[in-house]
């Protein structure tokens, strides 16, 4: 399941971060971090989710131990504006700030790695870590009824919400549908979801008709739910600002 993370607290201080005190929450600045399979992005956001400076980006050191990615994040954010708290979108299964799996990052050291605790200790501010697709969805949903968000980037991500609250759900990208293929692997996440989003014509154009038919995927728009299709390249900065104020964690 992809589930939300919780805040980890520390009294340590770090360069680039501001001191919190009475009333700090009303104007709290959030350091938003997006750990992707290709890049790590970061920006300091105001309470409304707007960027306070130019976002920073660095290549993700895929295959390296988690501690090296923590080092990369610390180096990336050191020149940014002061911040009061940290919000991280992470490409894997996360529970209470602890990473349970991160298949796109290629290192077994991520299993049960306390990323929230590690970043709190390194950067000196309370940290929340959430699955990246779940977090992106918080910036895209209407908070009415049942909504599903699908993100297409280096990996294939999904988030499921009911009236704005994040629901426990499966990592669809790693499921095998009738022993045919993993959604995020053999078919190609981008082509498959683009086809599913626009119906049978799109599937035919993507050259996936035979595969989809063989796997029994039924295309249609019935039901009262809503599908939001997103891209890692267009992640809303508002997602990090909302995570701290949302009741979804």
Provide DSSP, 161-172.
EETTEEPP---G
Q: In this predicted structure, what is the pLDDT of residue 152? A: 77
**CA 92 – CA 22 distance, rounded (Å):** 35
pTM of the model: 0.67
**CA 5 – CA 18 distance, rounded (Å):** 23
Q: In this predicted structure, what is the pLDDT of residue 9? A: 38
Higher pLDDT, 3 or 234: 3
What class is the 24-131 domain? alpha beta
Is 42's pLDDT higher than 80? yes
Is 99's pLDDT higher than 60? yes
Q: Please report where in the chains the tokens 């980890």 appear, as a residue.
A: 8
For the chain, the domains span 24-131, 138-231
Largest CA distance in the chain: 61
């Amino acid at each position: 399941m992809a589930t939300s993370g919780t805040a980890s607290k520390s009294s340590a201080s770090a360069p680039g971060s501001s001191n919190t005190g009475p009333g700090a929450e009303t104007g709290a600045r959030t350091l938003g971090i997006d750990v992707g399979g290709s890049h790590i992005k970061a920006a300091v956001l105001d309470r409304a989710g707007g960027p306070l400076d130019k976002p920073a980006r660095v290549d993700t050191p895929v295959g390296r131990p988690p501690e090296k990615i923590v080092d990369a994040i610390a180096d990336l954010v050191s020149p940014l504006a002061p911040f009061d708290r940290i919000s991280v979108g992470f490409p894997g299964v996360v529970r209470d700030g602890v990473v349970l799996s991160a298949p796109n990052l290629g290192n077994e050291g991520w299993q049960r790695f306390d990323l929230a605790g590690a970043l709190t200790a390194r950067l000196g501010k309370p940290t929340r870590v959430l699955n990246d697709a779940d977090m992106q969805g918080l910036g895209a949903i209407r908070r009415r009824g049942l909504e599903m968000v699908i993100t297409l980037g280096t990996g294939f991500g999904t988030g499921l919400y009911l009236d704005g609250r994040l629901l426990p759900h499966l990592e669809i990208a790693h499921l095998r549908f009738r022993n045919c293929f993993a959604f995020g692997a053999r078919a190609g996440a981008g082509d498959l979801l683009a086809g599913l989003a626009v119906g049978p014509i799109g599937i035919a154009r993507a050259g996936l008709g035979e595969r989809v038919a063989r796997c029994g995927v039924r295309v249609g728009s019935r039901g009262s739910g809503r599908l939001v299709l997103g891209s890692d390249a267009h992640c809303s900065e508002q997602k990090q600002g909302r995570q701290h104020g949302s009741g979804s964690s």
